[in-house]
């Protein structure tokens, strides 16, 4: 087994995560037994300017390299080593004021250390752990014979790690396409890519990760325990570029198409989104199946509130929060992360970058609202729900683009 570093991160490199500056102080190779085979992963010990530390974990998943960030926390109801050692899958524990069920119990071993390991970690150490699923995150207890620690873990997009350490996304194994000049592009947000401070956006990114709650657990720090993630594939694209249809009193032409992956807690869903344009230069976004399993479509048109949300404000919202969008009081009903997997059309050129978009769905009475943001800014849509037959059936082959 080679313990060579499989990533472009190296000891001494510095980066910013969640608005805090960190130095890569060390790398630890961890492993665990899985059905007779040893599964390995890398943990990077990040030390902040104030002496605080977090652990950035890299492991190979089915879709390539995956990154996760783990942070210590103090539980409301501490537990000692004997109590933790007695827990089994299915047992109830109370770490955060609520009774939760243990979802995994296992152990891991330290195989190799390069540079500075976290305090108390040595080659050959064996740690036991259990995971507790809490809905939007997982709490983890990890212990040796005489010490116990508690962590929470968050998945990080490759793009977040690349941005934090000044790397190219492809160096971290990123793939896919990006949106170009469209309703999701910097131009649509009314700002260039430099229009929002990158330092500010790193804070936005951290808030978004916490808000969206893509919390899956792996490694010694909480052991290699992935939550079961359901995946729904999109059907064949029902519309073609250049087709025309009449919706909401206007004739629209399909100018572009994206296959978008929507990620939320416990599931991944693909859906089709179409860029529409009318003869007056108006733009709209037609979404096929706003929620998993929906057959209805939603026609979204841009909404320009007089007092728009900032990306920081949007990232701080939670499910159930109320937000005022130009006089419309709406309730946040879903938080998500989206990545464009395929893009076609003259308004959606094939770009090498693969940006991650954050967003939430909200409801104001019977009106659906969609908010999405990137480092370039934020865009708000007002939606109109349409029956599937009305949406797709109205589009016929029109003039060429």
In this prediction, residues 159-165 reach a mean pLDDT of: 85
List the single range of 4-8, 75-79, 184-188, 373-377 with lowest mean pLDDT: 184-188
Q: How much is the average pLDDT of 116-130?
A: 90
Lowest pLDDT segment from 133-137, 262-266, 304-308, 378-382: 133-137
- Are 100 and 89 within 8 A, CB to CB? no
Torsion sign, CA atoms 74, 58, 13, 172:
negative
Tokens standing for residue 45: 């010990």
| Contacts of range 105-108, beta carbons closer than 8 Å, 24 or more positions apart | 105/129, 105/130, 106/32, 106/130, 106/223, 106/224, 106/225, 107/32, 107/223, 108/30, 108/31, 108/32, 108/219, 108/220, 108/223, 108/224
- The answer, yes or no, to whether residue 170 has pLDDT greater than 60, is no
For the whole model, what pTM was predicted? Answer: 0.52
Per-chain mean pLDDT for the chain = 78
Dmax (CA) of the chain: 73
Cα–Cα distance measured from residue 199 to residue 373, given in angstroms and rounded to the nearest whole number: 16
Contact 75, 96 (CB under 8 A): yes
Can you give the pLDDT at residue 334? 87
**According to DSSP H, which parts of 233-354 are helical?**
311-315
Q: d(Cα 54, Cα 153) in Å, to the nearest integer?
A: 10
CA angle 101, 104, 110 (to 5 degrees): 140
* Integer Cα distance of 137 and 152 in angstroms: 7
pLDDT of residue 276: 93
Ramachandran sector of residue 124 (left: φ over 0; alpha: ψ -120 to 50; beta: rest): left
CA distances, 62 to each of 107, 185, 205, 325 (Å): 22, 29, 24, 40
Q: Residue 279 region, left (φ>0) first, then alpha (ψ -120 to 50), else beta? A: alpha
- Of 228, 365, 345, 368, which is closest to residue 294 (Cα–Cα)? 368
Q: Is residue 252 very low, low, confident or very high in pLDDT (cuts 50, 70, 90)? A: very high
Q: Give the C-alpha separation, 108 to 55, whole Å.
A: 16
Mean pLDDT for the stretch of residues 313-331: 85
- Of 214-223, 257-266, 380-389, the range with the highest mean pLDDT is 380-389
CA separation for the pair 332, 50 (Å, rounded):
36
Q: Model confidence over 341-369: pLDDT tens digits?
A: 888 887 554 443 445 788 899 999 889 99
Phi then psi for residue 138, to 5 deg, are: -130, 135
CA 235 to chain centre: 23
First to last CA, the chain: 55
Neighbours of 52 (CB within 10 A): 12
């Amino acid at each position: 087994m080679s313990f060579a570093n499989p990533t472009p991160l190296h000891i001494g490199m510095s980066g910013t995560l969640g608005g805090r500056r960190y130095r890569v102080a060390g790398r630890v190779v961890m492993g665990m037994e899985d059905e007779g085979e040893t599964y390995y992963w890398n943990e990077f010990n990040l030390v902040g300017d104030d002496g605080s530390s977090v652990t950035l974990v890299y492991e190979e998943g089915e879709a390539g390299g995956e990154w996760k960030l783990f942070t210590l926390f103090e539980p409301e109801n501490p537990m000692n080593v004997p109590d933790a050692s007695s827990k089994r899958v299915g047992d109830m524990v109370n770490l955060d004021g609520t009774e939760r069920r243990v979802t995994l119990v296992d152990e891991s071993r330290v195989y190799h250390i390069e540079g500075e390991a976290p305090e108390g970690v040595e080659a050959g150490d064996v740690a036991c752990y259990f995971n507790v699923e809490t809905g939007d995150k997982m709490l983890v207890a990890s212990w040796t014979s005489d010490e116990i620690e508690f962590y929470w873990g968050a998945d990080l997009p490759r793009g977040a790690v690349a941005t934090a350490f000044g790397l190219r996304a492809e160096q971290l194994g990123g793939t896919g396409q990006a949106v170009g000049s469209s309703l999701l592009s910097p131009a649509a947000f009314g700002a260039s890519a430099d229009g929002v401070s990158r330092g500010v956006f790193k804070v936005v990114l951290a808030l978004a990760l916490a808000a969206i709650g893509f919390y899956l657990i792996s490694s010694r720090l909480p052991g290699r325990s992935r939550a079961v993630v359901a995946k729904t594939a999109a059907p064949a694209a029902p519309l073609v570029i250049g087709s025309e249809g009449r919706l909401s009193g206007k004739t629209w032409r399909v100018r572009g198409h994206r296959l978008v992956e929507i990620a939320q807690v416990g599931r991944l869903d693909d859906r089709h989104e179409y860029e529409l344009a009318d003869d007056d230069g108006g733009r709209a976004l037609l979404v096929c199946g706003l929620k998993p399993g929906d057959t209805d479509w939603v026609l979204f048109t841009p909404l320009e509130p007089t007092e728009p949300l900032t990306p920081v404000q949007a990232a701080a919202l939670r499910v159930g929060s109320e937000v005022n969008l130009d006089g419309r009081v709406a309730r946040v009903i879903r938080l998500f992360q989206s990545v464009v997997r395929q893009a076609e059309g003259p308004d959606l050129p094939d770009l090498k970058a693969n940006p991650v978009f954050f967003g939430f769905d909200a409801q104001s009475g019977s009106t659906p609202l969609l908010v999405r943001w990137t480092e370039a800014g934020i865009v708000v849509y007002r939606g109109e729900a349409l029956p599937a037959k009305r949406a797709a059936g109205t589009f016929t082959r029109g003039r060429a683009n």
